[in-house]
């Protein structure tokens, strides 16, 4: 079994993909941090579950129902308290790592995903409300979201670009980060200020990819099941290395700008036939983050193995993608479908969350 600190020694941060007032009030998050977890991600689905199940929101929600008529503002008041508390808990990690780690993510409302200007305004407003330097604002990687991301980086905001499901989407986000960082520097900004991560979702890629392979049937198709997400992640990281350790980033690196790390998201295995660490053990490497739900964190502590594996089997990863294309399955198209579906699911969770405020 591996400790979370062992992953950190290999250059990979382990974050928790969960946040609730129960975790905060009963010390669960503090225990994770003491064990080596160094960040937190949240989303509308996580907060919907938290508010629906935790008893620690009831009194505050009852008060807000009297004093705050706007349902979405009631939701904000609840979750921003949690975000601030998590940021404060992780501030020592953030300070000890000179701003490289120790972040908490809060998502912009999914209904703004196709409006760049509104996304920029909302990101700034949320940053002002939370008022913590170790906050990452989550923005979906829609075309409008990528535009907003570039502008926000150019203005010194720290961002988690989410709902990435393909190499092509990830490459677009990396390029936007480079443009935004150059604009920030050109305006006289501190080169150590820009901080962004690119959240590449994994398990959903295999869920949809496997469905398409099973529809084709036959030995060639079935042999490719359960391998697409890891292959995608390895190849996305290969592009990360080419970009952020190559000439395109050299001037920014020399100035002191941080690269935009890849973050592995959606890392709980959805198919029970697959190992519970399918999206952990093959993807360990420096300058990466893996955000894990509680169940997967427990599996890491129980039987996980920490070894640098991310750059292994790149030829097999390329063969996997070529095999999909040969069968008429375009990984880029899968990514577009999954991003649309992911945005729909987050939008539904957000609306359900707001309905809980009544």
- Supply the DSSP string of 204-225, one letter for each residue: HHHHHHHHHHHHH-SHHHHTTT
Residue 241 catalytic? no
Count CA within 13 A, CB hemisphere, residue 239: 20
Candidates 109, 165, 105; CA nearest to 141 is 165
Residue 128: both structure tokens together: 């002002």
Q: Cα–Cα distance between 36 and 90 in angstroms, integer?
A: 11
Q: What are phi and psi of 198, to 5 degrees?
A: -120, 110
Res 25: pLDDT: 97
Candidates 199, 168, 226, 205; CA nearest to 290 is 199
Candidates 172, 100, 87, 171; CA nearest to 126 is 87
115, 139 contact by CB (below 8 A): no
Res 217: pLDDT: 85
Residue recorded with tokens 């807000």: 64
pLDDT digits (tens, 9 = 90+) for 34-80: 999 999 999 999 999 999 999 999 999 999 999 999 999 999 999 99
Q: Cα–Cα distance between 332 and 203 in angstroms, integer?
A: 16
CATH architecture for the domain at 4-356: Alpha-Beta Barrel (3.20)
Domain ranges of the chain: 4-356
Q: Cα–Cα distance between 105 and 80 in angstroms, integer?
A: 11
Candidates 244, 286, 289; CA nearest to 262 is 289
How far apart, in Å, are the Cα atoms of 66 and each of 86, 92, 159? 27, 36, 34
Res 2: pLDDT: 80
Q: Cα–Cα distance between 203 and 350 in angstroms, integer?
A: 21
- What residues of the chain score a pLDDT lower than 50? none
Measured at the CA of 317, the angle between CA 100 and CA 341, to 5 degrees, comes to 70
Q: Which of 8, 49, 91, 138 is catalytic?
A: 138
Res 346: pLDDT: 93
How far apart, in Å, are the Cα atoms of 113 and each of 107, 137, 190, 354? 11, 13, 29, 17
Q: Where are the beta strands (DSSP E) in the chain?
A: 12-16, 104-107, 135-140, 159-164, 196-201, 261-265, 288-292
pLDDT digits (tens, 9 = 90+) for 235-248: 999 999 999 999 99
CA dihedral for 170, 175, 176, 178, sign (positive or negative): positive
């Amino acid at each position: 079994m591996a400790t979370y600190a062992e992953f950190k020694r290999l250059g990979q941060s382990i974050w928790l993909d969960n946040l609730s007032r129960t975790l905060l009030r009963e010390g669960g998050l503090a225990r994770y941090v003491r064990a080596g977890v160094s960040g937190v991600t949240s989303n509308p689905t996580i907060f919907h579950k938290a508010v629906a199940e935790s008893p620690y929101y009831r009194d505050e929600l009852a008060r807000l129902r009297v004093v705050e008529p706007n349902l979405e503002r009631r939701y904000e008041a609840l979750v921003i308290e949690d975000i601030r508390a998590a940021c404060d808990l992780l501030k020592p990690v953030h300070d000890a790592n000179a701003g490289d780690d120790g972040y908490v993510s809060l998502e912009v409302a999914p209904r703004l995903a196709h409006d760049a200007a509104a996304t920029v305004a909302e990101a700034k407003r949320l940053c002002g409300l939370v008022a913590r330097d170790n906050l990452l604002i989550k923005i979906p990687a829609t075309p409008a979201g990528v535009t907003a991301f570039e502008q926000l980086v150019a203005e010194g905001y720290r961002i988690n670009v989410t709902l990435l499901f393909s190499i092509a989407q990830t490459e677009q986000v990396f390029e936007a980060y480079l443009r935004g960082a150059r604009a920030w520097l050109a305006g006289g900004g501190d080169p150590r200020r820009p901080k962004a991560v690119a959240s590449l979702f994994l398990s959903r890629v295999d869920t949809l990819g496997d469905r398409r392979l099973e529809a084709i049937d036959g030995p060639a198709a079935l042999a490719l099941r359960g391998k697409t997400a890891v292959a995608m992640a390895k190849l996305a990281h290969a592009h990360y290395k080419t970009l952020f350790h190559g000439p395109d980033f050299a001037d920014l690196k020399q100035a002191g700008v941080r690269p935009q790390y890849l973050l592995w998201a959606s890392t709980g295995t959805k198919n029970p036939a697959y190992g519970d660490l399918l999206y952990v053990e093959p993807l360990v490497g420096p300058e990466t983050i893996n955000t894990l739900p509680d169940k997967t964190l427990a599996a890491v502590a129980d039987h996980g193995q920490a070894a640098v594996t991310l750059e292994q089997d790149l030829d097999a990863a390329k063969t996997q993608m070529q095999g999909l294309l040969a069968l008429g399955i375009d990984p880029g198209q899968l990514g577009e479908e999954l991003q649309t579906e992911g945005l729909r699911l987050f939008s539904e969770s957000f609306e359900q969350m707001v309905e809980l405020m009544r």
